Amino acid sequence: MLKGHSGAVYTPAFSPDGQRLVTAGHDRTVRIWDAEDGELLCTLNGHDSEVFGAVFVGDSRCVASCSQDRTVRLHCVPTE
């Protein structure tokens, strides 16, 4: 079970290789998880309102997210 978001979780999406999962949340965060064991790998911040969607971009080094705050953000994903 994935534990970390406070509130609703929207649009989970797997990385192209299936090893990670990204989620968007009512808590204004984007979170990246290890798809095998559910470990939280990192939390990405920056939106001022709930985040409705997030997807891995290209080679999965970035995540694009969209929010009710009317912004789209491109986040660099930490590699370690």
Q: What structural domains does the chain harbor?
A: 9-76 (2.40.10)
| Percent of the chain surpassing pLDDT 90 | 50
- With bands split at pLDDT 50, 70 and 90, how would you rate the model's confidence at 21? very high
Mean pLDDT, the chain, integer = 87
15 three-class SS? coil
Residue 80 is predicted with a pLDDT of 59
Evaluate if residue 6 carries a pLDDT over 80. Answer: no
Average pLDDT of the segment spanning 20-40: 90
String of DSSP letters for 14-52 = E-TTSSEEEEEETTS-EEEEETTT--EEEEE---SS-EE
- What pTM does this model have? 0.85
Residue 54 is predicted with a pLDDT of 95
| Percent of the chain surpassing pLDDT 70 | 92
